[in-house]
Each structure stands twice: as C-alpha cells, then as structure tokens.
Amino acid sequence: MSSKIVFITGATSGIGAACAHTFASHGYNLILNARKAVALEELRLHLQTKYNIAVHTLCFDVRNRKAAKEAISSLPSEFASIDILINNAGLALGIDKEYEGNEEDYDTMIDTNITALLMLTRMIVPQMVQRGRGHIINIGSVAGDAAYPGGSVYCATKAAVKILSDGLRIDLVDTPLRVTNIKPGLVETNFSITRFGGDTTRASKVYEGIQPLRGEDIADVVYYAASAPAHVQIAEVLVLATNQANGSIIHRQ
C-alpha cells in the first residue's frame, strides 16, 4: 500500500466515525478501533466499498492494556507503519458533584480519557520516532480549559490531555513528528447519551436552542492539521459552536 495509514480509536461513532470517513475520502488507509465488533465490521465494509481503500479493524476496549498490546502487535505488515494516531476514544459519565459521584464512573473516565491515551501513545510513537515520521492527534475538549458544575472529573481528564499533548510535543521537538490537541466544544454525537446513561430525552436538551457542531466539523479540523505542510505543526485548536463562548457560557434561542 502506498497510502498513509491512520489509526483511530473510538472509530464507530461521533467524531471517530467522522474522521474515518474524512480520511478515507482523501485516500488514507485506516486502522479502526472500537469495542463493538459488529459496528466495526459494518464500518469497514462501508468505507472499503465507498472509497476503495484498505481498512483493518482492531476490536478491543482501550482500557484493556493487554488487549491493546496484543492487537497492535498483531497488525499485518502492510498496516504496521502507522503515520497518524488519532486518540479519539473518550467519554463523560454523570454530572454529580465531585464529592458525591460514582467511583466506578471516575475510574472509567480516567482510564479511558487519560491512561488509554497515554498507553497507546507509548505503544505506537516509538516506531514513529524510529521511522522519522508521524503525527499524534489527541481529541481533547474545551472542558479541559476550566471546570464547570457537575463536570470536574471529566474536565480534569481533558486538562490532562492538554498537558500530555504539550509534554509529548516537548519530548519530540528534536524529531520531525508533530503533536496536535483538538479541543471541541458542543458537538452533537452520542456523547450526552452516554453521559446520561442512555436517557435520550435528557441528552437532547443539551443541544436545545443552539446549532451545535457536528462530528464532521471536528473531522475537518483534524484533517486540516494532518494535511498541513511538514514544517507546520498545528499545536492546539479550540473549536466552538458560534453561540458558545467557552465550556459553560452558551446562548440559546
């Protein structure tokens, strides 16, 4: 394969799926990760047929370090040289006060949003350094800029994504590799449905009275960063809906 290879975590919905479609439409071959095998296979077939690209799927929970290592080590030779790593998998759970929240939810957010991102970076970036090329794109959040009511743990995890991105950029400054942190604001995906435990009515209220971003809007920014000339490093991008000022100030019609 002559095309570049993009590895996307959390690829079957939301921003991850939008990134898969966007990069596929530009001829990139893909490695797609998610927890649901059926959804992964459906996405693989769809992308291969529509865009005439090669797609390899890795079905594992990013929180499972052993499974992640086994999956990455099992990559066929034609997919082993990853050019772009998009650390997209992430979630928020609940809106409880910090001292009243569910401890398991805390573990899940920290393990998914921080530890998994760090471990996948550790597994993949050394090979990028060895080859002298690569780009790490982390999907952070406006929530990482400041805490908001009911979101302190989630906000803390996304603040960690910023610091990990900044630190990695420092560590790679003497290499050709690039590091980008994309920080979306209000994006209408299954994010709020997950946060509210499947309550679609409650989740829909998050987007009432405002035109939110779409996963495709964020994918466009991700692709822009990835396709910039080699001497250009888009370090950080904050992307908000027009009527959103920051993580907590939103004007609704």
Give the per-residue SS3 of 98-142: CCCCCHHHHHHHHHHHHHHHHHHHHHHHHHHHHHCCCEEEEECCH
Q: Is 158 a catalytic residue?
A: yes
- How many Cα atoms within 13 Å fall on the side-chain side of residue 104? 0
Residue 64 to residue 53: CA distance in whole angstroms:
29
Residue 178 to residue 109: CA distance in whole angstroms:
26
Q: Kindly list the averaged pLDDT for each block of 10 residues, start to end, along the chain of length 253.
A: 85 97 97 97 97 97 97 96 98 94 96 98 98 98 96 97 98 98 94 88 90 97 98 98 95 94
Residue 33 near residue 58 (C-beta atoms within 8 A): yes
Q: Examine residue 180 and state whether it is found in any structural domain, yes or no.
A: yes
Domain count, the chain: 1
Interstrand relation of 236-239 and 178-184 (parallel, antiparallel or unpaired): parallel
Q: Examine residue 247 and state whether it is found in any structural domain, yes or no.
A: no
Q: Examine residue 62 and state whether it is found in any structural domain, yes or no.
A: yes
Tokens representing 186 are 């209000």
Q: Examine residue 253 and state whether it is found in any structural domain, yes or no.
A: no
Q: Is 28 a catalytic residue?
A: no
Q: Examine residue 251 and state whether it is found in any structural domain, yes or no.
A: no
Q: Examine residue 244 and state whether it is found in any structural domain, yes or no.
A: no
Selecting among 28, 51, 106, 158, the annotated active-site residue is 158
At residue 1, the pLDDT reads: 42
Q: Examine residue 174 and state whether it is found in any structural domain, yes or no.
A: yes
Q: Examine residue 163 and state whether it is found in any structural domain, yes or no.
A: yes
The range of the structural domain enclosing residue 85 comes to 5-239
Element of type H or E holding 86: strand 84-87
- Assign residue 25 the CATH number of its domain: 3.40.50.720
Selecting among 28, 51, 106, 154, the annotated active-site residue is 154
